[in-house]
């Protein structure tokens, strides 16, 4: 008889956003015609920018002609895009990442979910608490809910930044600007982690999906801005949040060639080679037209357009942040991140506040506890709705809470 991967039975029954979605469905069917404002899931609302749309149409036209048709592309992504990324996201910022260290993917959820494929089952893995659920769930799927998964508590006491682990940790997921707390790491704080990883021969999986939201020029956008991080870190980047590609699907993963580890036979192994093999075997590249769209993000016009998009959402973040702060609520994030992390008022727990906000204000947010036990009593709002709806949401909170 065939067997399933029984680690799946150790997962929590429901994925956070599915639960929210069901609650919304229930509420909507008992309140027909209700005007919900969604500040829950981190999905963008602005359309794709003109430079991206132009590139998509042009690439579709190429696919219509035999002479310019593109079939299978390189599993690692096309050179035209990898070169642009290396140049603009890294070399122009003084970070020596080369094009062939960049792997184009179809989304950071896939990339950060699949990265475990190349890692051993005996690693002690650390994640923060609260955390983006994919890190935890993809590890439970692979390793089971064993003692090998360590949760690093993040709370108001430590400014929602984890402390260096006292126990052995081989692999750690760090996401800054952070989802869900909207907090950031300064250069010295990130350096502390890089130094720790080098000293302990640990691997940092650095999720920089929200780097475009950094307003403070002193904050690092890439972990490779920290000296020697290319020896201990893999970085994930996405086009979802900076360029609105949530429905278009494009991301990239940086695996520096200098990231090596000793195998049990003593041989030094390159993680770049392993990820290359994983992608070559279990992925067939991101759509050509989507890679052309991503390339357009790096044109001068594209760069200007995404700066305007980010500025638009950051203005929303300011509206939420200031609106709630002026009510005396305790609020984190929203300054270098599209997420506002608030302490639920009146000592409410996360789901009670979710229900209250839905019932009274017809606003959907995300319960902090959905990101981990340390998120209990907190709540995440996103800056990704329209200006009008964001303003209206704060008005409703002012009127009905």
Is there binding between residue 24 and a copy of itself (CB under 8 A)? no
For 107, left (φ over 0), alpha (ψ -120 to 50), or beta?
left
DSSP 149: E
Is residue 287 helix, strand or coil? Answer: coil
Is there binding between residue 268 and a copy of itself (CB under 8 A)? no
Is there binding between residue 150 and a copy of itself (CB under 8 A)? no
Other Cβ atoms less than 10 A from the Cβ of 181: the count is: 29
Q: Which of 53, 304, 307, 373: binder of a copy of itself (CB under 8 A)?
A: 53
- Contacts of a copy of itself in 156-175 (CB under 8 A): 170-171
- Contacts of a copy of itself in 382-401 (CB under 8 A): 386
Is there binding between residue 304 and a copy of itself (CB under 8 A)? no
- By beta-carbon proximity to a copy of itself, the closer residue of 259 and 314 is 259
CA distances 298 to 47, 108, 209, 263, Å, are 17, 19, 16, 38
Give the integer Cα–Cα distance in Å for 350 and 141: 26
Q: Which of 163, 201, 308, 322: binder of a copy of itself (CB under 8 A)?
A: 201
CB of 200 to a copy of itself, least distance (A): 8
Q: Which of 83, 87, 100, 117: binder of a copy of itself (CB under 8 A)?
A: 117
Sign of CA dihedral 320, 343, 384, 362: negative
The contact pattern for a copy of itself, residues 215-234, with x = CB under 8 A and - = no contact, is: --------------------
Non-local (6+) Cβ contacts of 54 within 8 A are 296
- By beta-carbon proximity to a copy of itself, the closer residue of 118 and 151 is 118
Q: Which of 19, 23, 28, 56: binder of a copy of itself (CB under 8 A)?
A: 56
Is there binding between residue 264 and a copy of itself (CB under 8 A)? yes
Give the integer Cα–Cα distance in Å for 210 and 339: 10
Is there binding between residue 198 and a copy of itself (CB under 8 A)? no
Is there binding between residue 212 and a copy of itself (CB under 8 A)? no
Q: Which of 5, 92, 346, 399: binder of a copy of itself (CB under 8 A)?
A: 5
Which two tokens mark 57? 């149409």
For 230, left (φ over 0), alpha (ψ -120 to 50), or beta?
alpha
Q: Which of 37, 104, 127, 248: binder of a copy of itself (CB under 8 A)?
A: 248
- By beta-carbon proximity to a copy of itself, the closer residue of 303 and 386 is 386
Is residue 207 helix, strand or coil? Answer: strand
Diameter of the chain measured on Cα atoms: 66
Give the integer Cα–Cα distance in Å for 379 and 348: 10
Q: Which of 19, 27, 91, 283: binder of a copy of itself (CB under 8 A)?
A: 283
Which two tokens mark 314? 């950051």
> Could you tell me how many residues of this chain bind a copy of itself (CB under 8 A)?
85
Instruction: For residue 222, give the nearest of 238, 211, 231 by alpha carbon.
Output: 211
CB of 192 to a copy of itself, least distance (A): 18
């Amino acid at each position: 008889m065939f067997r399933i991967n029984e680690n799946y039975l150790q997962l929590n029954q429901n994925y956070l956003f599915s639960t929210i979605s069901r609650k919304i469905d229930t509420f909507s069917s008992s309140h027909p015609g209700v005007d919900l404002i969604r500040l829950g899931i981190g999905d963008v609302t602005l359309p794709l920018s003109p430079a991206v749309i132009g590139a998509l149409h042009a690439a579709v036209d190429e696919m219509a002609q035999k002479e310019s048709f593109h079939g299978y592309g390189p599993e690692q992504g096309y050179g035209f895009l990898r070169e642009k990324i290396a140049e603009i996201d890294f070399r122009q910022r003084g970070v020596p990442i080369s094009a062939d260290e960049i792997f184009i993917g179809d989304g950071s959820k896939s990339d950060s979910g699949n990265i475990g494929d190349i890692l051993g089952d005996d690693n002690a893995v650390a994640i923060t608490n609260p955390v983006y659920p994919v890190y935890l769930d993809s590890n439970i799927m692979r390793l089971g809910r064993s003692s090998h998964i360590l949760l690093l508590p993040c709370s108001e006491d430590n400014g929602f930044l984890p402390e260096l682990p006292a126990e052995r940790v081989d692999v750690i997921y760090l996401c800054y600007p952070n989802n869900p707390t909207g907090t950031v790491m300064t250069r010295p704080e990130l350096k502390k982690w890089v130094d720790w990883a080098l000293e302990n021969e640990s691997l940092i999986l650095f999720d920089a999906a929200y780097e475009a939201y950094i307003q403070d020029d002193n904050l690092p956008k890439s972990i490779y801005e920290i000296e020697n991080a290319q020896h201990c870190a893999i970085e994930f980047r996405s086009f979802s949040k900076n360029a609105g590609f949530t429905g278009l699907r494009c991301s990239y993963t940086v695996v520096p060639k200098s990231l090596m580890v000793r195998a049990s036979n003593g041989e030094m192994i390159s993680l770049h080679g392993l990820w290359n093999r994983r992608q070559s075997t279990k992925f067939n590249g991101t759509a050509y037209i989507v890679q052309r769209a991503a390339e357009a993000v790096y044109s001068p016009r594209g760069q200007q357009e995404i700066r305007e998009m980010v500025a638009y959402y950051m203005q929303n973040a300011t509206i939420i942040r200031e609106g709630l702060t002026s009510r005396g609520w305790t609020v984190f994030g929203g300054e270098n991140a599209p997420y506002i992390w608030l302490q639920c008022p009146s000592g409410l727990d996360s789901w009670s506040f979710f229900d209250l906000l839905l019932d009274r204000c017809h606003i959907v947010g995300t319960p902090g506890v959905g990101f981990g036990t340390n998120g209990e009593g907190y709540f995440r709002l996103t800056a990704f709705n329209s200006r009008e709806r964001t303003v209206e949401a704060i008005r409703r909170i002012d009127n009905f809470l």
